[in-house]
Structure 1
Amino acid sequence: MDRTVPAIVMLVLALALVVLLWVGWRGRKRRQADVPEPQPVPADTGAERFRADGQYVTTTTAGDWLDRLAVHGLGLRTRADAAVYDGGVLFERAGSGPLWVPAGSIDEVRLESGMAGKFVERDGLVVLGWRLGDHAVDTAFRTRVPEDKTALKAAIEDLMSSGRSGDTGRPQDQEEE
């Protein structure tokens, strides 16, 4: 009898905490309803330049590493592969579906130490800054093999520079006349 009351109180508190977390996540999704769904993976991604396995950490609002995006499964942490192709970067996420970032949407790539609840050694995360519709977002990825992070970052930088130096993403007949 003397342990029943504290056990019930703890159970009620745990249940209340779960309900509050669910309500908060649902509210976040409602506030982020204007964030468009990412583009589907195109049939032709181009040649694969680099691949690394690791963990998809999250996608947040650019510049606000705590503002995790709840919509479209972008805020779910999961095991993933990051692959750099001629056409963009593909995060093949286990249980969440693929996330395709077209090369023309990428603004920057950098190394960071943490994002939205995941903190690692100095410069342990590869963070991709890109545009999702009208929204600037940051996507973090942690490679399983530490040496792969610099190679992944270099492959994305190479993708960005090759896109800027030649292809504008527009058909030739729409080029300036």
Structure 2
Amino acid sequence: MTSLIVLAAEAEQKSAEVTDWGPRIAWVVGLVLFVVLVYWLMRQGWKWRGTLQSDLPELPESPQSPGEAKLRSSGRYHGSTTAGQWLDRIVAHGLGTRSRAELTLTDQGLDVVRPGAGDFFVPAAQLREARLDKGIAGKVLAEGGLLVVTWEHGGKPIDSGFRFDRAAEHTAWVEAINSMTDSSTKKTAVTTEGTAR
């Protein structure tokens, strides 16, 4: 008889714990509201950053006939920042949106096609350099795991980060872009020299 009373008391205790839903529901609702608030604040910050960068002109579109491809690769676009400031993300004109990307390098420039996000084109004259790096605005990889292309748009130097499906291709891109920028720098120097005479 005593054991029956003990079992009944234990069952009553367990039942009381399970049916005490009020504080649990309040805690879950509070947590959901906190997450929504944090998300909303992040969204507002993103919009504000876009407003601050509204002076950046529209991105150039790819030319109708870009010429023969020197290099072509696919991978991920990880975002763009102000050159030399790897945490100063640029969000204007969709440059802050991460996406898949297909890159094509021609004599006319760098064509970036992004399914699900805005494509953009960097004319050869606006390319400044390319290098291997380890991070850009919210994405950190192993040393040399990221291709960073520096270019200029609207008088603003920009770093854009890419990681190809085959990371071994990064080096060829660095060499090709840097050889293009070196040759355009030499052409500019020769033209300036000829004008000065």
TM-score scaled by structure 2? 0.81
Per-residue CA deviations over 1:61-98 (Å, capped at 9, x if unaligned) read 11111111111000111111111111001111121121
Give, in whole Å, the separation in 1 of the partners of 2:75 and 2:45.
Answer: 28
State yes or no: 1:115 paired with 2:136: yes
Instruction: Provide the alpha-carbon RMSD of the alignment.
Output: 1.7
Structure with the largest fraction of strand: 1
Deviation of residue 161 (structure 1)? 3.2
Give, in whole Å, the separation in 2 of the partners of 1:139 and 1:69.
Answer: 9
Q: Percent identity?
A: 34
Give, in whole Å, the separation in 2 of the partners of 1:32 and 1:55.
Answer: 23
Aligned residues: 171
- In the other structure, the counterpart of 1:172 is none
Q: Write the letter of the residue equivalent to 1:58.
A: G
- In the other structure, the counterpart of 1:77 is 98
Deviation of residue 162 (structure 1)? 3.8
Unaligned ranges ≥5, structure 2? 1-21, 189-193
Per-residue CA deviations over 1:6-64 (Å, capped at 9, x if unaligned) read 01101110110111011101110111111111111111212110011111111111111
1:96 to 107, 117, 121: 117
Q: Write the letter of the residue equivalent to 1:16.
A: L
> What secondary structure sits across from 1:3 in the alignment?
helix
Deviation of residue 130 (structure 1)? 1.0
Give, in whole Å, the separation in 2 of the partners of 1:128 and 1:74.
Answer: 13
> What secondary structure sits across from 1:18 in the alignment?
helix
Unaligned ranges ≥5, structure 1? 169-174
> What secondary structure sits across from 2:167 in the alignment?
coil
| Conserved? CA contact 1:83–1:90, under 8 Å | yes
| Conserved? CA contact 2:113–2:119, under 8 Å | yes
Query: Which of 1 and 2 has higher RCO (CA within 8 Å, sep 6+)?
Result: 1
Structure with the largest fraction of helix: 2
Q: Of the two, which has the highest radius of gyration?
A: 2
Q: Write the letter of the residue equivalent to 1:87.
A: Q
Deviation of residue 165 (structure 1)? 4.4
TM-score scaled by structure 1? 0.90
Give, in whole Å, the separation in 2 of the partners of 1:156 and 1:134.
Answer: 20
